[in-house]
Amino acid sequence: METLLLSSSENDIKKAAGILNNGGVVAIPTETVYGLAANALDGSVIKKIFIAKGRPMDNPLIVHVSSIDDIDKFSLVKEISDKARKLMEKFWPGPLTIILKKTENVPDEVSAGLDTVAIRCPSHKVANKLIKTASIPLAAPSANISGRPSPTTFSHVKNDMLGKVDAIIDGGQSDVGVESTVITLIADIPRLLRPGYITKEQIEDVIGKIDVDKAVFDKIDNTEKVSSPGMKYKHYSPKADVILLAGESEKFIDYVNRNSDKNTAVICYDDEKKNIDALSFTVGDENDMKAQAYNLFDILRKVDEENNITLVYAHLPKKEGIGMAVYNRLIRAAGFEVISLE
């Protein structure tokens, strides 16, 4: 298939909207990561997304809208509860995905047979304008090949999707760098299913106490029932094995210097880099979680481009604030392998 490469110009957004209205698949920039979009109201086109990504069919997609009003306009959910509306008013447009009971307007292909739907209103100007121009909600997972790190630049998307989708829009580098925070409001107590840029603390400030799903930090046994099907798959992985090291900087540096060879790469903090002998990549300052989120997926892809690297050591991040998102992605990239240096 020929893939049309588009800019963020008004004219190109119109072209992309035309493709989506005709049942095509377009990779689009969002503030979190790039997404692979198609008409969320047409179940027959959704399978193209799953094929392009190589995604398991039981993993539901997020529906993207351009405003809170779109939810009623397209009659996507049974009810917007008070808590849901409060969160939407506070954080939308922005990187928060909310799970609610769906109506029959959301095809089973989008919800993977669940009776719920995940909805998000992106703040990225191009994504938001595209949804308005196409006048349809867009179902979109991250635009990576399933299992690989999510794409945060146009070139990441080209690497994964060229020849597999109808068009890719260049929207520069994603501001946030990790996927949206996902929260379900189906149970009595809201539950965080995936941490992101909008933190647990920020959400609790608006709707009170929430739970954190077990799968955010821990490995889920294949036989256990998961709330978010995406969490049971290995994720974000470069081709090399990733091992996380827990402990302070001095011990981290000492360990990687003693255990590295020419086939090892290290993911570290700014201050550590100068003391590390192996090939190393910094995610940012130890206390700058925003920078770590912004850089993480790009670095995991850079590691992949180094052909000889078979092992990656990374410093286990703090679980606080946006750090919870970085922790969650890295621990999956590492297949939950952590060595304690204490």
Residue ranges binding ligand TXA (CB under 6 A): 30, 32-33, 35, 59-62, 95, 97, 99, 111, 114, 116-118, 120, 140-142, 179-180, 182, 193, 227-231
**Shorter beta-carbon distance to Mg ion: residue 315 or 332:** 332
CA dist., res. 74 & res. 69, Å (int): 9
Quote the least distance from Cβ 196 to Mg ion, whole Å. Answer: 12
Work out what residue 33 binds among ligand TXA, Mg ion, none; the CB cut-off runs from 5 to 8 Å by kind: ligand TXA
Quote the least distance from Cβ 142 to Mg ion, whole Å. Answer: 3
CA dist., res. 83 & res. 51, Å (int): 35
**Shorter beta-carbon distance to Mg ion: residue 142 or 174:** 142
| Residues between 116 and 155 with contacts to Mg ion, criterion CB under 5 A | 142
Quote the least distance from Cβ 54 to ligand TXA, whole Å. Answer: 13
Residue 39 near Mg ion by CB under 5 A: no
**Shorter beta-carbon distance to Mg ion: residue 147 or 208:** 147
CA dist., res. 110 & res. 220, Å (int): 23
Quote the least distance from Cβ 10 to ligand TXA, whole Å. Answer: 22
Quote the least distance from Cβ 152 to ligand TXA, whole Å. Answer: 11
Work out what residue 174 binds among ligand TXA, Mg ion, none; the CB cut-off runs from 5 to 8 Å by kind: none
Quote the least distance from Cβ 141 to Mg ion, whole Å. Answer: 5
Work out what residue 81 binds among ligand TXA, Mg ion, none; the CB cut-off runs from 5 to 8 Å by kind: none
Q: Which residue is nearest to ligand TXA (CB)?
A: 230
**Shorter beta-carbon distance to Mg ion: residue 30 or 142:** 142
Which residues make up the interface to Mg ion (CB under 5 A)?
142
